[in-house]
Structure 1
Amino acid sequence: MVQVSSGAEKRPLIICKTLLAGGTAGCCAKTVVAPLDRVKILMQGHNKFYKHTGVFKSLTGVYHKEGFIGLYKGNYVQMIRVFPYASIQFMSYEQYRGFLQKVTHHDHKHLVHLMSGSLAGMTAVLATYPLDVMRARIAFQLKGEHIYDGILGTVKTISQQEGKLALFRGIVPTLLGMVPYGGLSFYTFETTKTFLLDRFPDIFGKPCPKNTGGLVLILPAKLLCGSMAGAVAQSIVYPLDVVRRKIQLSTMLCEPDKYKNKSLWTVMKTIYHEHGLKNGLYRGITINYIRVVPMAAVSFSVFETMKQILGLDTGVSR
């Protein structure tokens, strides 16, 4: 099991290093998949130009209509959101896990990973959610049809037209989705990591740089564990992600009253009755696999690597 070293370092320094590692991991991961993220939002919201197109056709469509920069529309807001989000998520996970390990029996390590991941995800969502709403609104716009311009302009427009609470629209399905997503992603990563180092240490492990006698994953193994974490978690919670986007984008859709100020269950039933599972609750799942798998792989890999660089990872003992 990974343990954060204390040594002579004070707790605030360890927390700051963990925040830096998490934020760097999140920004790297989101930048890698930013074009896929943009297209996913357009598809989930059934944008009039992309509601009947596939993943790659949508990508080329955005490129031809808006150029290369169009593929990264809203990404600057994403970076402003992702750094604190990922920082808080990874740091919170380490803190929650450390606390739960002290108050629970050692046989409950799987429960510790699940609970720590869920709590960390919810903590990060609560701290950064308005930025997610703004990013979705900006990314859903097409060239020549802009309603929102810049972060401050978007905040002002949403607050004036819909009220300040609109910045938290869709937070309930987001939090509900984060409970299984955060828990399963961290649980799958940690479980797969431990399995590989226990069963195949010579193939997937290497000596810890801090010379503690422990092992750390090699880069391909980190990517493998991260990929599995993203795929497993996303398969289960994806419908809630679709519901969240519909609620966030409700005022920009053709029939805004259909999703605006409606309950989670009502929105889910509406999507299912009108579009079914494949083209409704799981619309965009293909592109989500294409984006989530590399995103999770990069995120967990960079975080693990940053921990080693910053001296926070002592490795798994033999």
Structure 2
Amino acid sequence: MALKMEKTSDFNFITKSLLAGGVAGMCSKTVVAPLDRIKILLQAQSNQYKHHGVVGGLTAVIKNESLQALYKGNGAQMVRIFPYAATQFTSFEIYKKYLNGIHIPVVQHGDKFIAGAGAGATAVTLTYPLDTIRARLAFQITGEHKYTGIVHAATTMFRTEGGIRALYRGFVPTMCGMIPYAGFSFYCFEYLKFVLMKYLPLTFCKKCDRNTGGLVLTVPGKLLCGGLAGAAAQSVSYPLDVTRRRMQLACMDPKTEKFGSGMIKTLTLIYRENGIVKGLYRGMSINYIRAIPMVATSFSTYELMKQLLHLDTGMAVS
């Protein structure tokens, strides 16, 4: 009887965590969807927008296409982000429970880094094809459409670019980038949350009877932790994000097909042709503008959803 109740409790925890994570992901990506599209256009050096900066690019998209064009590819993003964020946050909670108590020398809360890295790897493996499709749709310019939608893009790529490998093009640099990115994101958020609760409880925390610790972060506290976590994580993993985009979009233009042959070769080509600042870190300014509110919104929404869904007590681990 006790075992049955434990399994029911774990099932409820996982179901609620999936919902909380999915909602958090959708909110965060919707907030930064226009910046996401500009980032993709700058990273892959779109012929029409490659000479623009962030503000100029946003203005040019509205002028040349429309205000709605800033959200191009966001439909595919929503289809992707709900299962991605749901899987990532839920995996983190599960991995964190099993890793709880593992001490890593020098690094306090190091188990959170491992749990975050594992969660990111799990989520990206399951949802990567949707990210590739979304990038293709977002890269299209009005009047030069190659794909009509998510299904058409998927079937066209599968049929003409080598099957399932086409949908996973750029997966290796994505995975290499995801491990430090997700690891640092969750580690920094959890560590900063711990610091604020321990040293600044009167400023950034409030009492909550449902929470097992008695305290939860206020919304400003959540946003602060999430924003700083996002900035730190993006700084580490950004060059691999650029590499991933160049590989994903290589077949969109005959001039860029050379970027689709492998991670090391693509990294080398980007560095040789454009250097570090204008190549490997191209679009980094917009990435900071984008990443800070995105990660802040994501973690804040997830923490709020956890409170609303009574997830404070967590999952039993046998």
Instruction: State the Cα distance separating 1:167 from its structure 2 match.
Output: 0.3
Greater RCO (CA < 8 Å, at least 6 residues apart): 1
1:76 aligns with 2:44: no
Residue 228 of structure 1 corresponds to 228
Amino acid at match of 1:148: Y
- Any residues of structure 2 matched to 1:256-271 within 5 Å, and which? 256-261=256-261, 263-271=262-270
Number of residue equivalences: 308
After superposition, what is the alpha-carbon deviation per residue over 1:140-163, rounded to whole angstroms, capped at 9, x for unaligned? 000010001111111111111102
Q: Give the superposition deviation at 1:313.
A: 1.8
Match of 2:310?
311
Offset, 1:14: 0.5
Equivalent residue runs for 1:77-156 within 5 Å:
77-101=76-100, 104-105=102-103, 110-156=109-155
Q: After the TM superposition, which segments of 4 or more aligned residues of structure 1 sit over 6 Å from their partners?
A: none
The CA deviation at 1:293 is: 0.3
Q: For residue 186 of structure 2, what is the aligned residue in structure 1?
A: 186
Question: Residues 153-172 of structure 1: matches in 2 within 5 Å?
Answer: 153-164=152-163, 165-172=165-172
Q: 1:158 to 1:222 in 2, by over 3 A?
A: same
Do the aligned residues in 2 keep the contact of 1:101 with 1:109 (CA within 8 Å)? no
Shift of 1:277: 1.0
Q: Relative to structure 1, is the Cα distance of residues 227 and 260 closer, same or farther in structure 2, using a 3 angstrom cutoff?
A: same
1:49 maps to which residue?
A: 48
Evaluate the alpha carbon distance shift between residue 244 and residue 24 of structure 1 in structure 2; reply closer, same or farther with a 3 A threshold. Answer: same
Gaps of 5+ in 1: 1-5
Please state how far the C-alpha of 1:214 moved relative to its aligned partner: 1.5
Structure 2: how far apart are the matches of 1:73 and 1:126? 24
For 1:269-280, list aligned pairs within 5 A. Answer: 269-280=268-279
Q: What is the match of residue 23 of structure 2?
A: 24
Give the structure 2 partner of residue 3 of structure 1.
none
CA distance in 2 between counterparts of 1:215 and 1:198 reads: 10
Quote the residue 2:285 is aligned against.
286
Quick one: distance in 2 between partners of 1:39 and 1:172?
Answer: 24
Letter in 1 for 2:282: R
Other-structure match for 2:35: 36
Q: Residues of 1 paired with 2:8 and 2:219: CA distance?
A: 27
Report the Cα offset of residue 101 of structure 1: 1.1
CA deviations over 1:78-137 (Å, ceiling 9, x no partner): 0000000000000000000101116x2498752211100000000000000000000000
Kept in 2, the 8 Å contact 1:208–1:314? The answer is: no
> What amino acid is the match of 1:79?
M
1:239 aligned onto 2:239: yes
Scaled by the length of structure 1, the TM-score of the pair is 0.93
For the structure 1 residues 189 and 134, does the alpha-carbon distance in structure 2 shift closer, same or farther, using more than 3 Å as the test? Answer: same
Contact 1:214 1:314 in 2 (8 A): no
Is 1:134–1:167's contact at 8 Å kept on the other side of the alignment? Answer: yes
1:300 aligns with 2:278: no
TM-score under structure 2 length normalisation: 0.93
**Larger CA deviation: 252-261 vs 290-299:** 252-261
CA distance in 2: counterparts of 1:189 and 1:155, whole angstroms: 35
Q: Which runs of 5+ in 2 are unaligned?
A: none
